[in-house]
Amino acid sequence: MTTKLYLTEGGKAKNLALLTLTERLEIQETLRKTEAKEWIRRYRLKVKETGKQQAQAWWLGVKEAIKKKRGQDGLDTLISEMQRQRHEVNRL
């Protein structure tokens, strides 16, 4: 049995254009946190597979691709969220 997760209350997917500003901001924040967590996971996996030096080279390439697509502000937002999550984990 699979559990379906919805980003809106009531368990029904909605047209994004019909969401309130608060709902859209909550979804955006969820996506931001999820993406940061995923990149942290991928980087750690790459370190295990190829070693730290090659993983860092790979990550530089990923960051360049993100910067081209989203701009420096988008990259900075992702990196700051990743750092926030890493510091949060280290505090536990």
- The residue ranking higher by pLDDT, 8 or 48, is 48
pTM: 0.78
User: CB within 8 A of 11, min separation 6: which ones?
Assistant: 4
pLDDT computed for residue 16 by the predictor: 74
The closest of 74, 2, 88, 90 to 35, measured between CA atoms, is 74
What size, in residues, is the chain? 92
pLDDT tens for each residue of 19-50 = 889 988 999 999 999 999 999 999 999 999 99
Instruction: Report the distance separating Cα 24 and Cα 63, nearest Å.
Output: 26
pLDDT computed for residue 83 by the predictor: 95
